[in-house]
Amino acid sequence: MQIAPLTPILYRILKPTFPSCLWAGSVSSPAIALTFDDGPHPQYTPQLLQVLDRYEIPASFFWLGTCVNRAPAVALDVYRRGHWIGLHGYDHRSFANLNSDELKQSLEKTQEAIAAACQLEPQYVRDVRPPNGLFTPRTLNLLHQWNYRPVMWSVVPEDWVQPGISLVVERVLKQVENGSLIVLHDGYYGGQDVAETTAQLVPQLLRRGFEFVTIDQLWRQPQRTWG
């Protein structure tokens, strides 16, 4: 079952229910965030970086610790280009299935992998997107207790099942609005098409007048009442 048609409905339900998460930016600003999960990948991520360089736009990456350890040079390249880095867990296990010690270890191991690869302090990386977008109130309480910032989404075109580049682009263009937080994937599932998808998507979004910002910039928008 494809969930892409349902995500706008889920977003409208979940956003007010869990306001301590970052779901989107301000509807009064054309700023949108392009984010990528499940990397870094030794082939797909460098291809994606070329597209982002071409249009000179920032993006945000939510990484798996195990992938950072496999491709530390790629991770460093992403960071040096000025893109924002977040956590996606160490090995894509659902946070809801982990006890508190396992969850903390998963996040800290990923922080340590990123810190080692990118030559920065572990506490610098504190934005967290749960794998598959699955969380519980307990998960959120633990993230806040440990000083992490939970990040979700407003536009999910389900690119990881590879429905076709044109369909992914169509889904994003249909749903995007001021403040949108878009999720694509540059990992082993969906990453095969991510560079071309981004290359087709970005110029159309720019023509519509949208401005690309990082997750950190969305958090810092003055209109927000949480975070």
pLDDT, one tens digit per residue, over 52-71 is 999 999 999 999 999 999 99
pLDDT for the residue 141: 93
Among candidates 182, 171, 168, 203, which has minimal Cα distance to 51? Answer: 203
Q: Which two tokens stand for residue 49?
A: 């970086």
pLDDT for the residue 122: 87
Question: 165-175 vs 194-207: helix axis angle to the nearest 10?
Answer: 30
Q: How confident is the model at residue 223 (pLDDT cuts 50, 70, 90)?
A: very low
Residue 131 Ramachandran class (φ > 0 left, ψ -120 to 50 alpha, else beta): beta
Taking the C-alpha atoms of residue 51 and residue 194, their distance in angstroms, rounded to an integer, is 10
pLDDT for the residue 109: 97
Q: How confident is the model at residue 15 (pLDDT cuts 50, 70, 90)?
A: low
> φ and ψ at 99, to 5 degrees?
-75, 175
3-state secondary structure of 34: strand
Amino acid at 183: V
Taking the C-alpha atoms of residue 71 and residue 102, their distance in angstroms, rounded to an integer, is 24
Angle ∠(4,139,9) on CA atoms, nearest 5: 25
Mean pLDDT rounded to a whole number for the chain:
91
Angle ∠(198,203,204) on CA atoms, nearest 5: 100
pLDDT for the residue 169: 98
Best CATH choice for the domain 4-219 from the list 3.40.50.970, 2.40.50.140, 2.40.170.20, 3.20.20.370: 3.20.20.370
Taking the C-alpha atoms of residue 224 and residue 217, their distance in angstroms, rounded to an integer, is 11
pLDDT at 225 over 70: no
> What's the maximum distance between 2 C-alpha atoms anywhere in the chain?
47
Establish whether the linkage from the previous residue to 40 is cis, with ω within 30° of 0: yes
Predicted TM-score (pTM) of this structure: 0.92
Among candidates 24, 39, 126, which has minimal Cα distance to 76? Answer: 39
Give 69-126 pLDDT, tens digit per residue.
999 999 999 999 999 999 999 999 999 999 999 999 999 999 999 999 999 998 899 9
Amino acid at 79: Y
